[in-house]
Each structure stands twice: as C-alpha cells, then as structure tokens.
C-alpha cells in the first residue's frame, strides 16, 4: 500500500464495496476486477469505432453497458464519467460534440488511473 491514503470515495475503485458484492471472497473479487480491466480497453475501442461510424444507437448501448459494468465492480469515478458521457450523447440528442470528446477522454484517463491503482494497491506484483 502507498503511504498517502486516498479517501475511499476518491479511489478509482472501492475495493471494500466490490469485496462485499463478492461475499468477502478476496480471490474472486480480484478475478472480477482483472476481468473488468482486461475487457475495458476493447470496449473503449469499440465505442470509438461507433463514433467514427456515427452509429449513435450502438454507441449509447455500449456506453450504458460499460457504465453498468463499472458500477458492478465499484469503479465509481469511471461509472460517473460514463454516466455523464451517456447523458451528453443520449439526453442532449446532439450526437457527438466537443463535450462528448472531452468526457470520453476523461473516461479513458479514469480507466488508466484504475488500472494503475489496481496494479499498485490490489494486485501488487
């Protein structure tokens, strides 16, 4: 663990929350988290491909699904960012705009922060 402790709500993942969802099974929680991390970059790539194709219906579905998965693994900051992205694309009915680009970039940064945090604080190789 690092010397400087972040408040739980600022961490990229709430491991105690995930552990609770996994009924206290630490190894299972780590497996779930690893699976999420491994599947996330391809999901972001697929989202970017839908943007390039201007396939807004698929884009909204993929963002919504990714947001739900982030919520399941207690990656709360990423979930909130994806929630904002989903809103900018769906509710504003404006398709893709500069705000959407900034929010997708923020989601990618948040995912990278999550991956680094998990490696450093949870997996700890």
CATH number at residue 81: 1.20.120
Q: Does residue 2 fall inside a structural domain? A: no
Q: Does residue 9 fall inside a structural domain? A: no
Q: Supply the pLDDT for residue 14.
A: 94
Q: Does residue 81 fall inside a structural domain? A: yes
Q: Supply the pLDDT for residue 3.
A: 40
Q: Supply the pLDDT for residue 53.
A: 85
Q: Which residue has the tokens 């399941």?
A: 72
- Give how far Cα 85 sits from Cα of 35, 58, 79, 111, Å: 23, 14, 10, 14
Domains in the chain: how many in total?
Answer: 1
Q: Does residue 8 fall inside a structural domain? A: no
Q: Supply the pTM of this predicted model.
A: 0.84
Over residues 72-97, the pLDDT tens digits come to 999 999 999 999 988 888 776 556 67
Q: Supply the pLDDT for residue 92.
A: 60
Domain limits for position 55: 14-123
Residue 40 has, within 13 A of its CA and on its CB side, a CA count of 25
């Amino acid at each position: 663990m690092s010397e400087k402790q972040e408040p739980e709500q600022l961490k990229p993942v709430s491991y105690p929350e995930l552990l609770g969802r996994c009924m206290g099974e630490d190894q299972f929680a780590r497996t779930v988290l690893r699976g999420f991390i491994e599947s996330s970059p391809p999901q972001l790539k697929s989202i970017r491909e839908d943007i390039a194709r201007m396939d807004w219906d698929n884009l909204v579905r993929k963002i919504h699904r990714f947001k739900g998965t982030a919520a399941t693994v207690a990656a709360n900051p990423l979930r909130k960012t994806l929630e904002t992205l989903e809103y900018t694309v769906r509710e504003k009915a404006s398709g893709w705009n500069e705000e959407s680009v900034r929010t997708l970039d923020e989601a990618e940064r948040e995912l990278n922060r999550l991956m680094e945090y998990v490696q450093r604080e949870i997996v700890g190789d």
